[in-house]
């Protein structure tokens, strides 16, 4: 492969990073705080590629022509085009119901504490799905007892049952883990990956380390998918 072609591929790769970091597309893959890392990496790649391209095009009396070296060394640089094509043509969506189904029947909840701060006054209180699951499973002080909550997540179907789920990530989508809440009552018949805003109350006795907590549904509305689909 000609060096000029390699430099152009690097420009395309850096441009792809800048493209997804310019809007909310990057939130499908990494945390919001990583935006500046993507912008910086994309800018550095583009600048280095352009500098190298200009340098190679400059006349050099003692320069020797660069020939193909064959085999994997000749074809490997084309692999840089793969992420560019994926971003430009496919634009993979955020992880959803399929990823939850592959993760198994349990929530990936890690016990950080058995004492949680009181919930703010007033009903209903809006919580993340992960916080609701953690409180339901581990809270020994009963902060959820009798409290009306609002949860936002996407629908997951397990037979006739409907669950509300949200993926939690530490760094990027590669380490995502699901948190799920079983909806009890009239939750309608939402299709998988439909985003819902659900009001309800924790069903007493439904939560445990090996159980998915249940929410007694008091109201459901379909909402657009948020720009940031993950929790942290």
Collapsed DSSP state (helix, strand, coil) of residue 171: coil
Q: What is the pLDDT of residue 216?
A: 97
Computed on alpha carbons and rounded to an integer, the radius of gyration of the chain in Å comes to 24
**Nearest one of 111, 172, 113 to 141, comparing CA atoms:** 113
DSSP, res 89: I
Which positions of the chain have pLDDT values less than 50? 67
Q: How far apart are CA 130 and CA 178, in angstroms?
A: 8
List the domains of the chain with CATH numbers. 3-92 (no CATH), 98-222 (2.40.50)
Instruction: Render pLDDT for 174-229 as a digit per residue (tens, 0 to 9).
Output: 899 999 999 999 999 999 999 999 999 999 888 877 789 999 999 999 999 999 99
Q: What is the pLDDT of residue 109?
A: 62
């Amino acid at each position: 492969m000609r060096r000029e072609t390699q430099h152009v591929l690097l420009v395309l790769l850096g441009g792809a990073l800048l493209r997804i970091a310019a809007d909310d597309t990057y939130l499908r893959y990494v945390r919001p705080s990583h935006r500046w890392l993507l912008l910086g990496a994309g800018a550095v790649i583009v600048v280095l590629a352009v500098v190298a391209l200009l340098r190679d095009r400059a006349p050099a009396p003692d320069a020797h022509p660069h020939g193909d070296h064959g085999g994997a060394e000749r074809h490997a640089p084309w692999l840089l085009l793969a992420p560019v094509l994926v971003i430009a043509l496919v634009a993979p969506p955020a992880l959803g119901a399929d990823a939850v189904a592959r993760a198994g029947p349990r929530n990936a909840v890690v016990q950080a504490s058995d004492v949680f701060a009181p919930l703010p006054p007033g009903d209903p209180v809006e919580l993340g799905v992960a916080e609701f699951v953690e409180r339901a499973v581990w809270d020994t002080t009963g902060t959820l007892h009798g409290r009306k909550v609002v949860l936002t997540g996407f629908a997951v179907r397990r037979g006739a049952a409907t669950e509300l789920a949200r993926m939690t990530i530490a760094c990027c989508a590669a380490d995502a883990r699901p948190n799920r809440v079983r909806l009890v009552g009239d939750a309608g018949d939402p299709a998988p990956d439909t985003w819902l805003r659900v009001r309800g109350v924790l069903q007493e006795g439904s939560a445990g380390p090996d159980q998915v907590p249940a929410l007694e549904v008091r109201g459901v509305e379909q909402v657009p998918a948020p720009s940031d689909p993950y929790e942290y």
